[in-house]
């Protein structure tokens, strides 16, 4: 029996299901998951609308208790959920356990935030009038999530949405429905009232389209690719919906000559290649000051050589497979493009065969690249990184900012002056000093500038900007 969609507090089958395939072993089917049809998405929105007034009135204690319970179950089942995550998405067990832990903590954090939501009382400029500013739920929110963080991204959208009194319709990525289904099951059993949380799995072109286009959905929070995000923005904005987008990155990691080379190599290795490079915060442009170039390249090449690319759930694996054939084809195509553009392939870039049929690829490092090459302009979303040489700090900063994206930017240096200057002058939403560009805390804002993001920030208390709407009340108390 396939896993059903959750609509209005009931598990509802659509009659159409798709297999969830393990990218480490394509013979392994994780499970069968329903694909919702358009009528079911409509039903889910209807159920969310019906539940919205009640949930908006629920006390902060009720919302906090629900979120806390969800967080506790996720944390208690960390090992089992990490296994499911590694099996359906292909990140290593250690990475998956980190992600599941993060999802649990996010629910716990927003359990607290439900209790902390505050308003303001301001003196009016008019006599006898009192002014109060309060935050109210937006209403029904549609959440559309990508495949690369199958549990953390749904968590960081669902938790604030529910904490601040909204009803949710979640549409997870089609190729990783397992973790989203598990979270839906946990929320349902934790006692969410019918319709407060709905899950509709399936195709973006069906489920996503209906969700984005329905006037009864007040806000859309989307994480995914640039072209899909731009389409979502156009359609949702046209009907006046609130929109928040997190899209791609082409994140620079600057390495200065005064850097601790061990820190720089470790940051580049982690940022560029862990999670198989499938992170929007991946360090894909390694901008290296000339005087450090050869030391850095030999250190990183050596570190890459030591990586074990294999089944995500195998002991000793450090880099799992690419998520599916389409993504692998895209990664290999960019390796080809880089070579044709004149970049030197220092290591990796080839398809690998392992014991089980999976989408294995050797992490690839290009050297001798220029920032205007296609491989340095477009997001690859795989284990492929480029070294871009720079004369000095000023040129490195200019290269770092010369990109259509602006999600995260990093610098490895022992100079306080350059670190602080970079922090202030980097055109990115997040800056890292002596750290990989990927790997963020769960309780502070996440988001970028330029082509990377649109709308207000996700996560931390800043999430209230998106999931609430402000009301200013004037009262003449007589």
267 binds ligand ADP (CB under 6 A): no
Out of 174, 214, 246, 465, the only residue in the binding site for ligand ADP (CB under 6 A) is 174
Of the residues 280, 408, 412, 465, only one is catalytic, namely 280
- Total residue length of the chain: 478
84 binds ligand ADP (CB under 6 A): no
Out of 140, 182, 212, 297, the only residue in the binding site for ligand ADP (CB under 6 A) is 212
Q: Give the residues across from 457 on adjacent strands.
A: none
CA neighbor of 373 nearest in space, from 383, 388, 390, 384? 388
The secondary structure of 44-87, three-state, reads: HHHHHHHHHHHHHHCCHHHHHHHHHHHHHHHHHCHHHHHHHHHH
Nearer to ligand ADP, 241 or 264 (CB): 241
Active site residue 167: no
Active site residue 246: yes
* Contact (Cβ atoms closer than 8 angstroms) between residue 187 and residue 70: yes
Q: From the CB of 142, what's the least distance to ligand ADP, in Å?
A: 9
Out of 71, 224, 363, 389, the only residue in the binding site for ligand ADP (CB under 6 A) is 224
145 binds ligand ADP (CB under 6 A): yes
232 binds ligand ADP (CB under 6 A): yes
389 binds ligand ADP (CB under 6 A): no
Out of 33, 107, 110, 147, the only residue in the binding site for ligand ADP (CB under 6 A) is 147
154 binds ligand ADP (CB under 6 A): no
Question: Binding segment for ligand ADP among 76-84, 92-100, 113-121, 227-235 (CB under 6 A)?
Answer: 227-235
325 binds ligand ADP (CB under 6 A): no
Out of 178, 195, 204, 455, the only residue in the binding site for ligand ADP (CB under 6 A) is 204
Q: From the CB of 361, what's the least distance to ligand ADP, in Å?
A: 17
Q: 20 is written with which tokens?
A: 């969830």
Question: Binding segment for ligand ADP among 74-82, 86-94, 204-212, 382-390 (CB under 6 A)?
Answer: 204-212
DSSP states of 298-337: HHHHHHHHT--B--TTSTT-SB---SSHHHHHHHHHHHHH
* Contact (Cβ atoms closer than 8 angstroms) between residue 453 and residue 407: yes
> What's the Cα-to-Cα distance from 387 to each of 123, 210, 371, 435, rounded to whole Å?
57, 42, 9, 17
Angle of CA points 333, 440, 259, to nearest 5°: 80
170 binds ligand ADP (CB under 6 A): no
200 binds ligand ADP (CB under 6 A): no
CA atoms of 199 and 170, how far apart (whole Å): 5
* Cα pseudo-dihedral 435, 438, 440, 446, rounded to 10: 120
CA atoms of 339 and 9, how far apart (whole Å): 53
* Cα pseudo-dihedral 41, 43, 46, 48, rounded to 10: -70
330 binds ligand ADP (CB under 6 A): no
231 binds ligand ADP (CB under 6 A): yes
Out of 90, 208, 277, 455, the only residue in the binding site for ligand ADP (CB under 6 A) is 208
149 binds ligand ADP (CB under 6 A): no
Nearer to ligand ADP, 231 or 445 (CB): 231
On the CB side of 453, CA atoms within 13 Å amount to 21
Out of 173, 236, 362, 375, the only residue in the binding site for ligand ADP (CB under 6 A) is 173
Active site residues: 246, 280
Q: Which residues make up the interface to ligand ADP (CB under 6 A)?
A: 144-147, 171, 173-174, 204-205, 208-209, 212, 224-225, 228, 231-232
């Amino acid at each position: 029996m396939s896993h059903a969609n959750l609509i209005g507090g009931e598990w509802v089958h659509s009659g159409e299901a798709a297999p969830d395939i393990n990218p480490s072993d394509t013979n392994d089917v994780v499970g069968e998951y329903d694909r919702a049809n358009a009528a079911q998405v409509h039903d889910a929105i209807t159920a969310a609308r019906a539940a919205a007034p009640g949930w908006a009135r629920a006390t902060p204690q009720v919302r906090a208790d629900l979120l806390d319970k969800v967080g506790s179950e996720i944390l208690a089942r960390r090992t089992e959920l990490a296994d499911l995550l590694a099996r359906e998405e292909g990140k290593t067990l250690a990475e998956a356990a980190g992600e599941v832990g993060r999802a649990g903590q996010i629910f716990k954090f927003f359990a607290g935030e439900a209790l902390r939501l505050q308003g303001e009382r301001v003196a009016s400029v008019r006599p006898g009038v009192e002014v109060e500013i309060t935050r109210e739920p937006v209403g029904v929110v549609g959440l559309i999530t990508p495949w690369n963080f199958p549990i953390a991204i749904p968590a960081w959208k669902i938790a604030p949405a529910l904490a601040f009194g909204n009803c949710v319709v979640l549409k997870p990525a089609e190729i990783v429905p397992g973790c989203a289904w598990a979270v839906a099951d946990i929320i349902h059993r934790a006692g969410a009232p019918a319709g407060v949380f709905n899950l509709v799995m399936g195709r973006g072109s069906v489920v996503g389209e209906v969700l984005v286009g329905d006037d009864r959905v007040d806000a859309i929070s989307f994480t995914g690719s640039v072209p899909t995000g731009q389409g979502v923005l156009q359609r949702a904005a046209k009907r006046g919906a609130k929109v928040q987008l997190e899209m791609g990155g082409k994140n620079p990691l600057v390495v200065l000559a005064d850097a601790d080379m061990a820190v720089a190599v470790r940051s580049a290795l982690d940022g560029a290649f862990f999670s198989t490079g499938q992170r929007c915060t991946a360090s894909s442009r390694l901008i290296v000051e000339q005087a450090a170039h050869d030391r850095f390249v030999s250190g990183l090449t050596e570190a890459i050589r030591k990586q074990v690319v294999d089944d995500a759930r195998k002991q000793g694996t450090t880099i799992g497979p690419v998520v599916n054939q389409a993504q692998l084809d895209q990664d290999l195509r960019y390796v080809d493009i880089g070579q044709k553009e004149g970049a030197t392939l220092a290591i990796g870039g080839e398809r690998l065969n392992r014991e089980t049929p999976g989408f294995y690829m050797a992490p690839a490092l290009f050297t001798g690249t220029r920032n205007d090459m296609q491989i340095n302009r477009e997001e690859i979303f795989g284990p492929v990184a480029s070294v871009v040489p720079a004369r000095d700090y000023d040129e490195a900063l200019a290269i770092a900012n010369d990109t259509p994206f602006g999600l995260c930017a990093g610098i490895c240096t022992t100079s306080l002056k350059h670190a602080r200057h970079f922090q202030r002058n980097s055109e990115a939403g997040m800056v890292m000093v002596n750290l990989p560009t990927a790997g963020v805390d769960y309780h502070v804002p996440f988001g970028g500038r330029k082509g990377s993001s649109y709308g207000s920030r996700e996560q931390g208390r800043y999430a209230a900007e998106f999931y609430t709407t402000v009301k200013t009340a004037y009262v003449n108390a007589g």
